[in-house]
Chains A and B, each alone.
Chain A
Amino acid sequence: MRHLRTFATLFIATVKEIFDESAYARFLARECREHSAAAYADFIQEKHSAPIRRCC
């Protein structure tokens, strides 16, 4: 049961990292801001100042 819980936690953490939800949480913590549409817009602006690399 403990292993299953660890696996589920890891799976959710991985998915949140892949889909940038963890990065957004870090952005809010770093900038000491509350979650809002404006904060998310600034996060996206910062995140995509460099191109996303996707392999062939």
Chain B
Amino acid sequence: MAALRRVLWIGVALLGAAAIGVIALRRGEPINALWLVVAALCIYAIGLRFYSTFIAAKVLALDDTRATPAERLENGRDFVRTNKWVVFGHHFAAIAGPGPLLGPVLAAQFGYLPGTIWVLVGAVLGGCVQDFVILAFSVRRDGKSLCQMAKEEIGKVGGFVSFVAVLSIIIILLSVAALIVVNALKNSPWGTFTIAMTIPIALLMGIYLRTLRPGKVLETSAIGFVLVMFAIIGGQFVSHHAGLAKVFTLTAPQLAVAIIIYGFAASAVPVWLLLAPRDYLSTFVKLGTIIVLTLGILALRPTLQMPALTRFIDGTGPIFAGKLFPFAFITIACGAISGFHSLISSGTTPKLIARESHIRMIGYGGMAAESFVAIMAMIAACTLAPGAYFAVNSPAGIVGALPADATAMITSWNFPITAADMAHLAQSVGEGTLFNRTGGAPAFALGMAQIFSRALGGERFTAIWYHFAIMFEALFILTVLDAGTRVARFMLQDGLGHWWPMLGRTSSYPSILITSGLTVAAWGAFLWQGVRDPLGGINSLWPLFGIANQLLAIVALCVATTIIIKSARARFSWVTLAPLAWLLAVTFAASWHKVFNPNPRIGFLAHASALASGAVPAKATEISRLVFNDRLDAVVTAMLVILVTLILAESGMEWWRVLSGRKHAVTHESPYVQAEAVGVSG
């Protein structure tokens, strides 16, 4: 049996190697998307079977005889022993957001190869490891949060830096999320109507759930889903109705104002009325769509149109400027390694784990599943004709505002496309135009619509599927916006409450209004900046988001390394030190470029200087505001790097003190308690 298993794993390794070989070495001819799927599944299987088992045994010493907090502190509320696969599903639903869908689409400007390799290697050696070890350490500390662990294991600076880093990343994330929705919905009456309708649908669901059928969440979500499908079909009618189409045709600034007002309202109204039903609806649509997309790709096995590498690895990309290193690695954060996951791994999940051995599948396996979603997104983007991909994603400031100019420019890059092709494509999905829709969401929706329509309904359903995909993305991006604004508001209340106790009362309505206003103003300012940016906003805000997200991963890996060293397992600290070193190289290099690079398309300060000197064209009335925005972005980037440098220095000092014997290592692990013999199976 053992020999058979060995042969099986050798077979998996050989198959994975062959698939990677095809992906990496084929040039000049299209490859089938199935190669990416096979490579990904083999690599995840090997990582999960061997690397995660090694970490579980040697680095974490997971022990099923040790009672988990879900067993010791079981209260039927936060701490509940739960089946392994149930926690896996719960954890996956919390970590899978828009990031793994959009990052790979944007990074596809380099070709499919760099992003795919980073997603696979980054996940198996970085992201999965981070999620796994943070989850394990949180379980061993009664489900403590990352900030609490940083404060206890590293020091006060670590705790403070984690707090500021978490708050900053949430603000930047929310602004980018809102910008993606704006860019997907601008001048699209169909999309805007559908998304607008999700608000009354969520309100109806909230009232239905509260008064008519309390507790019947699945039933309510299914009704909400049916209503959303009607809204999509209704959107087609709206787009063809002269009067209604005019009402729902909004410019980017108009949409930004609407989203800012919505964000404030969602944070201030009772949770049961809007946020909770929206979250349920979004999860329902998200899980269903991801499953159907995966099955669609497996059934259709589409061919990738995008080359393995494009000319834009030299840093001249139209979607975002900057060379392959470091920009490909900050463009894809979620899907490879995302610091944000450490907040989930030290949030609800550790309080549900029944046995320590379950942590491996939930932490490591959950991230591998999210990474697979990123591979699906890469496939969806790369099945588009490259000319169409660049026409959709390139900002007017780079390719020109007129269709003829844009297509001529893109064709000159050897990605042939005509204005007539783009007009036909836009018509096929029920849109007036698809040019200059930066942000990744429309390109992903196009790819997904093509896959779905080939599998279900044919070409006449392409428009419905496109708007289904836009609704799917916008719905859960807006859910991230609701939930994120509320998380940031709670953090702000917690922080400001130390100075003014009234603000610390989470149920006080004046406190809710003030802190919600401050949170929305913070992300709203960045959103406004992105909306008014002639380069589309994504060029500056997405890298800022990637840098912030991965700087948070550095904080998480510092905490994990500190605990490993303090636990007398320093010889295995390379497990977290290796991804930490890589992320340091990537984020610090990217931050340096974003602040100081002399190319105005890359460096914030160079762009500000070019605006001030007139080298970059802008309206005279807007120059001072644009210059201020650039300088603000530079200051925010520098501030994040300085904060992370502080936590790195404090961690390094702690490692040195422990390793040199100057300090007796004390971890804040909960005392060992024998687990009960009866357990929750999994």
Please indicate which of the listed interface residues A36, A37, A53 has the most CB atoms of chain B within 10 Å of its own CB. A53
**B86: which A residues are within 8 A, CB to CB?**
10, 13-14, 17
A44 to chain B, nearest CB (A): 5
B371 to chain A, nearest CB (A): 13
A17 to B230, CA, bound (A): 28
A44 to B270, CA, bound (A): 10
Known: A37-B210, A54-B97, A56-B99. A48 touches B276 (CB 8 A): yes
A22 to chain B, nearest CB (A): 8
Asked if A53 and B343 make an inter-chain contact with CB atoms under 8 angstroms apart, the answer reads yes
A8 on the interface (CB 8 Å rule)? Answer: no
Q: Known A-B contacts: A17-B82, A49-B506. Give 5 more (CB < 8 A).
A: A30-B77, A41-B272, A50-B490, A53-B487, A54-B279
Known: A13-B86, A54-B483, A56-B173. A26 touches B214 (CB 8 A): no
**A52: which B residues are within 8 A, CB to CB?**
275-276, 279, 483, 486-487
Known: A10-B83, A44-B272, A55-B97. A19 touches B483 (CB 8 A): no
B610 to chain A, nearest CB (A): 31
Asked if B218 and A21 make an inter-chain contact with CB atoms under 8 angstroms apart, the answer reads yes
Please list the residues of chain A having a beta carbon within 8 angstroms of any beta carbon in chain B.
10, 13-21, 23-24, 26-27, 29-30, 35-37, 39-41, 43-46, 48-56
B607 on the interface (CB 8 Å rule)? Answer: no
Asked if B98 and A56 make an inter-chain contact with CB atoms under 8 angstroms apart, the answer reads yes
A52 to chain B, nearest CB (A): 5
B616 on the interface (CB 8 Å rule)? Answer: no
A53 to B96, CA, bound (A): 11
**A43: which B residues are within 8 A, CB to CB?**
215
**A20: which B residues are within 8 A, CB to CB?**
217, 280
B85 on the interface (CB 8 Å rule)? Answer: yes
B221 on the interface (CB 8 Å rule)? Answer: yes
B398 on the interface (CB 8 Å rule)? Answer: no
Known: A10-B83, A27-B77, A44-B276. A53 touches B94 (CB 8 A): yes
Asked if A39 and B338 make an inter-chain contact with CB atoms under 8 angstroms apart, the answer reads no
A sample of 11 cross-chain residue pairs with beta-carbon separation below 8 angstroms, ordered by A number, consists of A20-B280, A30-B76, A37-B211, A43-B215, A46-B77, A48-B276, A52-B483, A53-B344, A54-B279, A55-B95, A56-B333
**B284: which A residues are within 8 A, CB to CB?**
19
A19 to B272, CA, bound (A): 13
**B93: which A residues are within 8 A, CB to CB?**
18
A13 to chain B, nearest CB (A): 5
Please indicate which of the listed interface residues B75, B89, B96, B211 has the most CB atoms of chain A within 10 Å of its own CB. B89
A26 to B90, CA, bound (A): 16
B518 to chain A, nearest CB (A): 16
Known: A51-B490, A54-B97, A56-B98. A40 touches B210 (CB 8 A): yes
**A45: which B residues are within 8 A, CB to CB?**
272
Instruction: Say which residue of B85, B276, B334 sits within 8 Å of A55 (CB atoms).
Output: B334
Please list the residues of chain B having a beta carbon within 8 angstroms of any beta carbon in chain A.
75-77, 80, 82-83, 85-90, 93-99, 173, 177, 209-211, 214-218, 221, 271-272, 275-276, 279-280, 283-284, 287, 333-334, 338, 340-341, 343-344, 347-348, 479-480, 483-484, 486-487, 489-490, 506, 545, 549
B251 to chain A, nearest CB (A): 26
**A16: which B residues are within 8 A, CB to CB?**
218
Asked if A14 and B77 make an inter-chain contact with CB atoms under 8 angstroms apart, the answer reads no
**B97: which A residues are within 8 A, CB to CB?**
54-56
**B85: which A residues are within 8 A, CB to CB?**
10, 14
A36 to chain B, nearest CB (A): 7
A55 to B90, CA, bound (A): 12
Known: A55-B95, A56-B97. A21 touches B486 (CB 8 A): no
Residue of B nearest to A38 (CB): B214
Instruction: Say which residue of A14, A36, A53, A56 sits within 8 Å of B177 (CB atoms).
Output: A56
Instruction: Say which residue of A18, A29, A46, A51 sits within 8 Å of B283 (CB atoms).
Output: A18
**A41: which B residues are within 8 A, CB to CB?**
210, 214, 272
**A40: which B residues are within 8 A, CB to CB?**
209-210, 214-215
Known: A18-B90, A29-B76, A30-B77. A54 touches B480 (CB 8 A): yes
**A53: which B residues are within 8 A, CB to CB?**
94, 343-344, 347-348, 483, 487
**A15: which B residues are within 8 A, CB to CB?**
89, 218
Asked if A19 and B340 make an inter-chain contact with CB atoms under 8 angstroms apart, the answer reads no
**B221: which A residues are within 8 A, CB to CB?**
19
**B280: which A residues are within 8 A, CB to CB?**
19-20
A55 to B75, CA, bound (A): 26
Instruction: Say which residue of B76, B87, B334, B506 sits within 8 Å of A56 (CB atoms).
Output: B334
Asked if B215 and A51 make an inter-chain contact with CB atoms under 8 angstroms apart, the answer reads no
